[in-house]
Chain A
Amino acid sequence: MIPENVMNQPSWYESSARARIEGLLDAGSFKEILGPQDHVMSPHLALFDLPPAFDDGMIIGRGLIDGRPVAIAAQEGQFMGGTFAEVSGAKLVGLLRAVARNAGTPQEVSTVFLLLDTGGVRLQEANAGEMAVSETIHAILDVRHAGVPVVALIGGRAGAFGGGGLVTACCSHIIISEQGRISVSGPEVIETNKGVEEFDSRDRALVWRVTGGRSRVLLGGADSYVKGDIGSFRKAAEVINNNAPPLSLETLEREQGRLEHRLKAYGNCHDTPEIWVIAGLSTPAGIADLTEDDFIDLLVKEGVRHDAR
């Protein structure tokens, strides 16, 4: 059943990357860099007999949120699974480097928003894709070091897997919806390598219990939880300000401590309900069945589960 409050709203999950950008930014404020009319496309896909995309599935540019200048990049999850590749990676890295270089100048932006929707590296151009992921991570850390927060928004069809999961985890702040998923090895990859008893990728409930938005936010793998409509992502993006933790040794040591504690407390669990029992949640078996409003109430009651990233 579609909840009444999101029934008439455009859904983040169902929308294209361009529609997400349009809904997130102030109307008419988006200025695209290297748009489709520039024809900057993958030189590799033709070798595999595959049609390219005019933007290589990566849309980058600048715009306004509540009048504040921001930089934005969105992956089109429906094109090649929303991949990191040579051209799409260079566009993203170029945007991030420009943001880091412009910090403290009149060209400065207040925040970078990454609308990730990806299965990871594009296998047809894997070496370039792996390079793109590592350069993206490097560039994100430079932007954070320059004092500009980088915010990931996760709620698309492809989720944020492989290198996309690593990139997400390097951001200052992660906004996620129930449909959003974050992980490194995807369910099919785990099943292929370790067998169906380890992970049944066709068990959708299991996939979402482990990688989905609700579990991620409860475990501290995401910071803000929103309903799945574009308007809710926009509201969460509006209130992000510069109080994201600075990228410092102290922040990283606190995060390391939190993760060590988490591993010690939950390392032997086989599924998330076991974690929720240990964590003392009131409905450990029914987290997925709560309404969006009840789940958001639960998050408020539980409070912030981590203090660093």
Chain B
Amino acid sequence: MEKFTIYTQAKSSLGGKRSDTLTGVVASGNLEILFERKGEPLAVIVEVMTASHGYQHVWEAVIKDFVARVSPGGMYISIHDNGARPDTVLLRLMQGARLMEARS
């Protein structure tokens, strides 16, 4: 298992009122992502625990893409990964951001 944390900044804070949300499950080829609204309004912190070794640069690229698309400022994102492919990771990140943007 590999653990690392990616710190980055978004252009704006993520909208919505929800304080947290969970998406996905730690199944084979899948991952779970917990979004929590905490910290600096523009900061994005992504904590990754992954069963696959040696893919940190791929994670960094996917998260850069996600931050550019969604601008999830103020999010503390924790990931438990069990070998999800990059497209699945991006899909789950987008899903989580959309859930956080929900009104209630």
A, B in one complex: yes
A76→B22 CA distance, assembly (Å): 14
Q: Using an 8 Å CB-CB cutoff, how does the interface string of A48-64 with B read, 1 for contact, 0 for none?
A: 01111111010000000
Q: How would you classify the secondary structure of chain A's contact residues: helix, strand, loop or mixed?
A: loop
The residue from B30, B36, B51, B78 contacting A78, defined by CB atoms under 8 A apart = B30
Please classify how large the interface on chain B is, using the bins under 10, 10 to 19, 20 to 34, 35 or more: 10 to 19
Pair A37/B34 contact, Cβ less than 8 Å: yes
Q: Using an 8 Å CB-CB cutoff, how does the interface string of A68-79 with B read, 1 for contact, 0 for none?
A: 000000001011
Contacts of B28 in A (CB 8 A): 78
Pair B27/A51 contact, Cβ less than 8 Å: no
Contacts of B80 in A (CB 8 A): 51-54
Within 8 A of A (CB), among B40-77: 49-51
The residue from A18, A36, A78 contacting B20, defined by CB atoms under 8 A apart = A36
Pair A50/B1 contact, Cβ less than 8 Å: yes
Does A232 lie at the interface of the complex (its beta carbon under 8 Å from any beta carbon of B)? no
**Which partner residue on chain A sits nearest B28 by CB separation?**
A78
A53→B1 CA distance, assembly (Å): 14
A54→B36 CA distance, assembly (Å): 13
Q: Using an 8 Å CB-CB cutoff, how does the interface string of B8-32 with A read, 1 for contact, 0 for none?
A: 0000000000011010011110101
A66→B78 CA distance, assembly (Å): 36
The residue from B19, B32, B50, B51 contacting A53, defined by CB atoms under 8 A apart = B32
Does A239 lie at the interface of the complex (its beta carbon under 8 Å from any beta carbon of B)? no
Contacts of A80 in B (CB 8 A): 26
Does A16 lie at the interface of the complex (its beta carbon under 8 Å from any beta carbon of B)? yes
A18→B23 CA distance, assembly (Å): 10
Pair A54/B32 contact, Cβ less than 8 Å: yes
Q: Using an 8 Å CB-CB cutoff, how does the interface string of A29-53 with B read, 1 for contact, 0 for none?
A: 0000001110000000010011111
Pair B1/A79 contact, Cβ less than 8 Å: no
Pair A53/B34 contact, Cβ less than 8 Å: no
Q: Are A54 and B22 also in contact (CB < 8 A) when A37-B36, A49-B1, A49-B51 are?
A: yes
**Number of residues on chain A facing chain B (CB within 8 A):** 19
Contacts of A54 in B (CB 8 A): 22, 32, 34, 78, 80
Q: Are A51 and B34 also in contact (CB < 8 A) when A36-B22, A79-B25, A79-B27 are?
A: no
Pair A51/B26 contact, Cβ less than 8 Å: yes
The residue from A35, A49, A53 contacting B26, defined by CB atoms under 8 A apart = A53
Contacts of A36 in B (CB 8 A): 20, 22, 32, 34
Contacts of B22 in A (CB 8 A): 18, 35-37, 54-55
The 9 A-B pairs of least Cβ separation, nearest first, read A78-B27, A51-B80, A36-B22, A49-B1, A37-B20, A53-B26, A51-B49, A79-B26, A78-B25
User: A residues touching B (Cβ–Cβ < 8 Å)?
Assistant: 16-18, 35-37, 46, 49-55, 57, 76, 78-80
CB pairs A–B below 8 angstroms (26 shown): A16-B25, A35-B22, A36-B20, A36-B34, A37-B19, A37-B20, A37-B22, A37-B34, A37-B36, A49-B51, A51-B50, A51-B51, A51-B80, A51-B82, A52-B26, A53-B32, A53-B80, A54-B22, A54-B32, A54-B34, A54-B78, A78-B27, A78-B28, A78-B30, A79-B25, A79-B27
